[in-house]
Structure 1
Amino acid sequence: MSTRVRIDRQSPEVYSAMTRVVKVVREQATAAGLDRALLELVNMRVSQINGCETCLDTHWRAGTAAGVTPQKLALLPAWRDSELYDDRERAALAIAETVTSTAGPHLDDEQYAAVRKDLTDDETSMLIWASITINSFNRISILSRHPVPVRDADGRAAPEEQS
């Protein structure tokens, strides 16, 4: 028996408030002109950095459903070296990594200005909020040890793993 507290179940009101924040961020991001595919790239990259298997499992499926190619998802750790990512995606990923790796290098003023040339104020704000929220959910899932089902080649959970 696991001694882990599933904080989403232990404190459902707080978890529900967190999911409402994500919903507002998604709505505002869409209103700002950010598409779901870009947000899922951010979710995937942050989850890779944090090593959150639950969120990686969730967001690779959401990313492909939003039109992100499997190749882009596979090469995401090497986005700086790949020509697959456009300027907006690069700007979004730079923001996501800066929000996530607070102990690492930060965007200096010159780097921040370079990122901003491809994003509006609203887009920048919503990408920061999206990065903050996925970081929060990474921590919830990692500390709660949310289980990840074994999936088949089509992404369906194996029958014995479904709950």
Structure 2
Amino acid sequence: MPGTSTTNPRLEYKTFQDIVPEMGTGMAAISHALRKSGIEPDLLEMLKIRISQLNGCAFCVQYHLNDARKLNVPAAKLDLLAAWREAGTYTAREAAAFDWAERVTLLANHYIDDESYTRVSAHFSEREIAFLTTAIGQINFWNRIAAPLRFTPPIPAGS
């Protein structure tokens, strides 16, 4: 029936990797650059979770929750990401990153004005903004692969 939703995977992550190994290689190179960027690993993981929430990508939300937990990101920060503006638990730097991430991710909904750039640049250097925007682009790309193909979320062991 048209419009009926299902959660059955259309293609598994491993199968996708086998079909398009070059994509994984390219993404690994970007991930390596991001690790060397100097941006806090916990911030990058929270950013990836928030963007994946916006894009409705269950695989990426779970994947990056798993990684964030390995980095010992406080549970309250993970639990409240969907409502980060009201939560009062994030630093000004984290809030600036989340705001920038939402604006870049939802680009089709609004123009990114100079005021938005000024807000993020109050907390990040030009170099960091370049890496931050790269991280945003990378997870958006992954979301656009994993969500439509419905990769099965990677549930952590013991869950």
When normalised by structure 1's length, the TM-score is: 0.81
Letter in 1 for 2:119: A
Contact 2:10 2:149 in 1 (8 A): no
Computed over aligned residues only, the root mean square deviation of the Cα atoms, in angstroms, reads: 2.1
Q: CA deviation at 1:35?
A: 1.0
Q: Secondary structure at the match of 2:152?
A: coil
Structure 1 residue 157, shift from structure 2 partner: 5.4
> Is the counterpart of residue 9 in structure 1 residue 14 in structure 2?
no
Matched, 1:139 2:140: no
Larger RCO (CA under 8 A, 6+ residues apart): 2
Between the aligned partners of 1:87 and 1:18, the Cα distance in structure 2 is 29
Residue 109 and residue 7 in structure 1: after superposition, are their counterparts in 2 closer, same or farther (change >3 A)?
A: same
The alpha carbon displacement at 1:112 in A equals: 1.8
**TM-score with structure 2 length normalisation?**
0.83
Query: Match for 1:17: what amino acid?
Result: G
Give the letter for the 2:157 counterpart.
Answer: R
Say whether the 8 Å CA contact 2:57–2:146 is kept in structure 1. Answer: yes
Counterpart in the other structure of 2:100: 95
Residue 40 (structure 2) pairs with residue 35 (structure 1): yes
SS in 1 for 2:87: coil
Corresponding residue of 1:84: 89
Contact 2:11 2:151 in 1 (8 A): no
Q: Distance in 2 between matches of 1:73 and 1:13?
A: 31
Residues 92 and 127, structure 1, Cα contact 8 Å, conserved in 2: yes
Partner amino acid, structure 2, of 1:103:
A
**Is the CA contact (8 Å cut-off) linking 2:104 and 2:136 kept in structure 1?**
yes
1:156 maps to 2:140? no
Structure 1 runs of 4+ with >4 Å offset = 1-6
In the TM superposition, residue 83 of structure 1 has moved relative to its aligned partner by: 1.1
Match of 2:4 in 1: none
What percent of counterpart residues are identical?
32
CA-to-aligned-CA distance 1:6-47 (integer Å, 9 cap, x gap)? 5432121233222222222222x22xxx11111011111011
Separation (CA, whole Å) in 2 of partners of 1:70 and 1:145: 26
- Long gaps (5+) in structure 2: 1-7
